[in-house]
Structure 1
Amino acid sequence: MTAAFHDLMAFQRETEALAQIAGRLGWDQETMMPAGAAQQRGEEMAAIEGVLHARRTDPRVGDWLARAEPPDAAGARALSLIARAYGRNAAVPARLASEIARVTSVAQGIWAEARARDDVAHFLPTLERVVALVHERGQALAAAGYGQGDAYDALLDDYEPEATAEGIAAIFGRMRPRLVALREAILGADRHPAPLAGHFAEVRQLGLARDLATAFGYDWTRGRLDLAVHPFSSGSGNDVRITTRVVEAEPFNCFYSTIHEVGHAAYEQAIDQAHLLTPLGAGVSMGVHESQSRICENQLGRSRAFTHWLHRQMRAVFGDFGIASPEAFYRTVNRVQSGFIRTEADEVHYNLHIMMRFDLERDLFAGRLAVSDLEDAWNTRFARDFGVAVDRPAHGMLQDVHWSVGLFGYFPTYALGNVYAGCLHEAMRADLPDLDAALAEGDARPATGWLREKVQRFGGLLRPAELIERACGFAADEGPLLDYLEAKFRAIYAL
């Protein structure tokens, strides 16, 4: 190991630690920060982003990279990730990085106010500013050669390295016909599961949510559960926090949001401790990250075996809640309907939500759509894709936090995560033929152990495509996901 490699990794460790502190400020903003602190928090976030940007573009990093000799394959991968990040950060002016941090921190609160008030006009000026700043960043990255010279591809590369909008559009183009055909068959079916109805007290929901988090491998000694408007997971290594939300008439919202976020958190907690506070010490991409949350939430958490166990738990916690049999409960959990909210969407509709957002984002960044016209474009597209009219902005373009915080290019990774999850589930079932016996007892450890061994422990050591192919034994494609969906829902709806 050269001195340059040692010095670079020591410097990087401090940078990673500061990034974790910035993440903790974001967690606090979403969970506990008093509303009156929003403007000050914006200044705080801008200040720490300025420090981080200065470190990430420090000329010494370039010098160390030129002289560093890695001791092993992990060291070589760490150097490649540092070099990639160094080039991307150097392409973005420090002024712009700090301004994005400041504006998006404040924008988050403005979005929450607008959502609560169903007032798009209250949010539009801020959103226009966010889009302009993020577009400027994308253009700066594209000018430096990232994203093959395309601003949106350069932004997408933040979340799913090596992915392109054209490639994702091709995947979506292959998925859409089968998803739409399945949806139409389901909605025209003679048999439809009963919806869940009743009152489910918050304290009892949260108690069961904690049990679900434990069942899916969440380490409570290195995490905590809190409430947020939009559930999320935050942190890595030995401090990984999750949030959920509670609607007392809709406990599935809480339960499956919790399982989803535990999928993210368990990934971060399972990464080899040798990678802590290094470029390898976090999930390799958002698509891979999403695969861990979606496989836990859907293929495992909504499986017949696991929902039979959950039915028993709900009866123990809430008493008779109107669904007597485990099989009827399984069908209710997997009920398909054209709802407004992406995070509450069933497995059949979910990817259609993502495809819509992806197309709107591309239009915004290509100049084909103005921010001022976004609400009309959203509502028109939603009515066309889902067959219902948006009834209020909180159920439309104001429902997601992502655009307020500048996460353009992030949405398509949700659908990529579903594609990866479909492949992982197929491979997992082949390796664990008796998995349902454990899930029927509320024991997800065989599945979560398989995910830790095959995916999670590597952190950023392997490229996303390489990681999924090694875990599954075949290159990722949309086929396993679509096959799974068709088999599952045709059985539920007797198609």
Structure 2
Amino acid sequence: MPAYDDLMAFQRVTEALGQVAGRTGWDQETLMPRGAAPQRAEEMAALEEVLHARRTDPRLGDWLDEAHARDDVADANLREMRRAYDRNRKVPAKLAAEIARVTSLAQGQWAEARASDDAAAFVPVLSEVVRLRREEGAALAEGGDVYDALMQDYEPDAVAADMAAMFDSMRPRLVALRERALAGEAAPTLSGHFPEGTQLLLAHEIATAFGYDFAHGRIDRAVHPFSSGSGLDVRITTRVDEDDPFNCLYSTIHEVGHACYEQNIDRDHLLTPLGRGVSMGVHESQSRSYENQMGRSEAYCSWLYGRMRDLFGEIGVTSERDFYRAVNSVGTGFIRTEADELNYNLHVMLRFDIERAMLDGDLAPADVEAAWNDRFQADFGVAVDKPSNGFLQDVHWSVGLMGYFPTYSLGNLYAGCLMAKARADLPRIDAALAAGDPSPATGWMAANLQRFGGLRTPVETVRHATGDAPSAEPLLTYLEAKFGDLYP
């Protein structure tokens, strides 16, 4: 199989260079001095030029035509490389490099605009990113839907019409649950001082318990928490608010879910197309199941309540039940990453509709802030008080992640399916969580989903783990049971 062997040897170098580019991006958001941004943008553009040249090298087409699959792994590698090759050839090299350069600069410009609540400063940046991504989407779509074309970067085979239908089916039950919760007794809140060092100590302890391997990773701080890397080097970030420890702890658990997916992929797939998570929807199923269905469960909260009292002393709530209610408080807060499980998907729906309108040309970037504020008022009944609590809160648009947001809700849907099956297979999951041990649940995820990486398509990855086609019903049933108990 000389063609397949040559193809894989070439791809291994491309994958390694892609990891270098990703680590450069991680450095930009964590350690890079602010003054280095213009040079870093040129470096990122240069890396993208090299990567694009490799990803469109004519030899790839020849090898792909000549290669034959010897087994399921080879078949999956060929499937993924053919899809990527056909897609990359549609994007001009100059455009790919310009997107890399502009989005590298835009990330820092967004962070400054967010810190100063200067919406006007971000509008030119957003306009340029939207222009470039629309141009890329048009090249990829070849006359089809631009948004659908861009979504393929994050969720292969997904289309916006299906995402919209999913949202339409979920919204009524989510809104009904939210209204019931908001009409009920308000949840308790934590009070006290939660020092940064102690929060990070506990975050490290929790990350380890959830299976994060610090021999191949690290925790740093960033404006917007994220996970980066795959294989032997998978890094996460978190953020700290000394008045709100949940921000740090649950951001950490969320990113650990992403990181464990990457760390647990079979090492035989290292530096191949199968050596990373198959899609962002499947990726998000891991982070959301770790954060919510494990980390915010009543069982785990009973352990976390005691551990936090050990570390912080009095925390403003005096029972495990009140702590559980505080962790799962339902409100109409501004910030997506801090939203409860009922409101979270409503946050995603807002972003999905706005970015589709931008890419379709129906909404100018200069009008996004007003459109966001109007929609937020309509959906949540609260007026946005400042841009950092509104359209400046997320990093995604500054770095060009157009078409990414719907994968968050798709991940919630997948998580509902996966955890329902895990609980059916392992009825003592809650007993372990109550002892501070998530390993039965995380071990089930590693064995049934994570280790396979990109071996199967996203839908088939979930179907293989659960035995059924993905459906919103397990998620909605879980939410109705949980919040029906919390807000009777």
Name the SS for the 1:405 alignment partner: coil
8 A Cα contact 1:159 1:409, kept in partner: yes
Q: Paired residue for 2:329, among 335, 338, 341? A: 335
8 A Cα contact 1:17 1:277, kept in partner: yes
Q: Distance in 1 between matches of 2:260 and 2:239?
A: 19
Which consecutive segments of 4 or more residues in structure 1 shift more than 4 A?
none
Matches of residues 180-259 of structure 1 in structure 2 within 5 Å?
180-189=175-184, 191-259=185-253
**Residues 206-234 of structure 1: CA deviation (Å, up to 9, x unaligned):** 00000110111000100000000000000
Read off the aligned partner of 1:371 and give its amino acid letter. P
Residue 114 of structure 1 corresponds to 113
Aligned residues: 488
Matches of residues 84-483 of structure 1 in structure 2 within 5 Å?
84-143=83-142, 149-189=144-184, 191-483=185-477
8 A Cα contact 2:189 2:317, kept in partner: no
8 A Cα contact 2:192 2:314, kept in partner: no
Q: Distance in 2 between matches of 1:161 and 1:246?
A: 34
8 A Cα contact 1:424 1:468, kept in partner: yes
Name stretches of at least 5 consecutive residues in structure 1 with no aligned partner: none
**Residues 180-237 of structure 1: CA deviation (Å, up to 9, x unaligned):** 1111111111x22111222100000000000110111000100000000000000000
**Residues 382-431 of structure 1: CA deviation (Å, up to 9, x unaligned):** 00000100000000000000000000000000000000001111111101
Q: Distance in 2 between matches of 1:49 and 1:313?
A: 46
Question: C-alpha displacement at 1:70, in angstroms?
Answer: 2.3
Normalising by structure 2, what TM-score? 0.99
Q: Distance in 1 between matches of 2:284 and 2:379?
A: 23
Read off the aligned partner of 1:357 and give its amino acid letter. R
Residue 50 of structure 2 corresponds to 51
Read off the aligned partner of 1:92 and give its amino acid letter. V
Residue 26 of structure 2 corresponds to residue 27 of structure 1: yes
Name the SS for the 2:113 alignment partner: helix
Q: Distance in 2 between matches of 1:290 and 1:388?
A: 28
Question: C-alpha displacement at 1:159, in angstroms?
Answer: 0.5
Name the SS for the 1:242 alignment partner: strand
Q: Distance in 2 between matches of 1:118 and 1:192?
A: 30
Q: Distance in 1 between matches of 2:187 and 2:197?
A: 27
Q: Distance in 2 between matches of 1:241 and 1:162?
A: 28
Name the SS for the 2:343 alignment partner: helix
Name the SS for the 2:342 alignment partner: helix
Name the SS for the 2:229 alignment partner: strand
Q: Distance in 2 between matches of 1:429 and 1:222?
A: 29
Question: C-alpha displacement at 1:344, in angstroms?
Answer: 0.3
Name the SS for the 1:226 alignment partner: strand
Read off the aligned partner of 2:277 and give its amino acid letter. G
Normalising by structure 1, what TM-score? 0.98
**Residues 249-287 of structure 1: CA deviation (Å, up to 9, x unaligned):** 010000000000000000000000000000000000000
Name the SS for the 2:220 alignment partner: strand
Read off the aligned partner of 1:163 and give its amino acid letter. A
Q: Distance in 2 between matches of 1:173 and 1:326?
A: 36
8 A Cα contact 1:192 1:493, kept in partner: no
Q: Distance in 2 between matches of 1:299 and 1:223?
A: 24
**Residues 114-167 of structure 1: CA deviation (Å, up to 9, x unaligned):** 000000111110110000000000000001x7xxx1110000111111110000
Name the SS for the 1:158 alignment partner: coil
Q: Distance in 1 between matches of 2:316 and 2:113?
A: 36
Read off the aligned partner of 1:237 and give its amino acid letter. G
Q: Distance in 1 between matches of 2:471 and 2:402?
A: 24
Question: C-alpha displacement at 1:24, in angstroms?
Answer: 0.4
Q: Distance in 1 between matches of 2:401 and 2:364?
A: 17
Read off the aligned partner of 1:336 and give its amino acid letter. V
Q: Distance in 2 between matches of 1:347 and 1:390?
A: 20
Read off the aligned partner of 1:180 and give its amino acid letter. V
Percent of aligned positions with the same letter in both sequences?
65
Cα RMSD over matched residues? Answer: 0.7
Residue 70 of structure 2 corresponds to residue 71 of structure 1: yes
Read off the aligned partner of 1:100 and give its amino acid letter. I
Read off the aligned partner of 2:268 and give its amino acid letter. A
Read off the aligned partner of 2:136 and give its amino acid letter. R
Q: Distance in 2 between matches of 1:320 and 1:394?
A: 31
Q: Distance in 2 between matches of 1:378 and 1:367?
A: 16
Name stretches of at least 5 consecutive residues in structure 2 with no aligned partner: none
Quick check: 470-479 or 247-256, which moved more?
Answer: 470-479
Q: Paired residue for 2:482, among 470, 488, 494? A: 488
Name the SS for the 2:259 alignment partner: helix
